[in-house]
Amino acid sequence: MARDEQLKERWEDLVQKLSDQFADGDKLDLDSIIYLVGMQELSQLNRRFKKDDKINLMHIAICKLLEPYGYYEFDYIDEEGWPHYHVREKLPTLKPGEQSVLMKEAVVNYFVEREYIG
């Protein structure tokens, strides 16, 4: 199976599984899934978040997702339990479609590593 086909199939499987688990079957989009990754990484699941916190959750997720690609590196966890990362390498300029493919690939890899999907 071609790499692009495998990514597409894994992405669709992941979206379905997460949508069933967290959205009563309503299809989650990429941003929603990135937000879920941020919640997972923060590990404060029973907490209500303000708007700024939600943006920070997405930032945590993006850093975590792109860490294996060498763009970010984990630095420390602050006194409130928030992980912090620093930039290792500037992200290349990507077209919107290329950004989407990179993030989907990173999300799929994240969930494969955690054995949530195969």
**Residue 91 counted as domain residue:** yes
Provide the β-strand partners of residue 5. Answer: none
Category of 56 on φ-ψ map: left (φ > 0), alpha (ψ -120 to 50) or beta: alpha
**Residue 58 counted as domain residue:** yes
**Residue 93 counted as domain residue:** yes
Q: Per 3-state DSSP, what percentage of the chain is helix, strand, and coil (rounded to 5)?
A: 60, 10, 30
**Residue 118 counted as domain residue:** no
Instruction: Measure the CA–CA gap between 26 and 68, rounded to whole angstroms.
Output: 30
The more confidently predicted of residues 45 and 109 is 109
Q: What percent of the chain has pLDDT over 70?
A: 99
pLDDT tens, residue by residue, 6-50: 999 999 999 999 999 999 879 999 999 999 999 999 988 778 888
The predicted model scores a pTM of 0.91
1: pLDDT strictly greater than 70: no
- Total domain count for the chain? 1
96: pLDDT strictly greater than 90: no
pLDDT tens, residue by residue, 75-88: 999 999 999 999 99
> pLDDT grade, residue 107 (50/70/90)?
very high
Residue whose entry in the numeric block shows the structure tokens 């928030």: 82
Instruction: Measure the CA–CA gap between 17 and 11, rounded to whole angstroms.
Output: 10
Instruction: Measure the CA–CA gap between 43 and 37, rounded to whole angstroms.
Output: 10
- Containing structural domain, residue 32: 3-113
**Residue 34 counted as domain residue:** yes
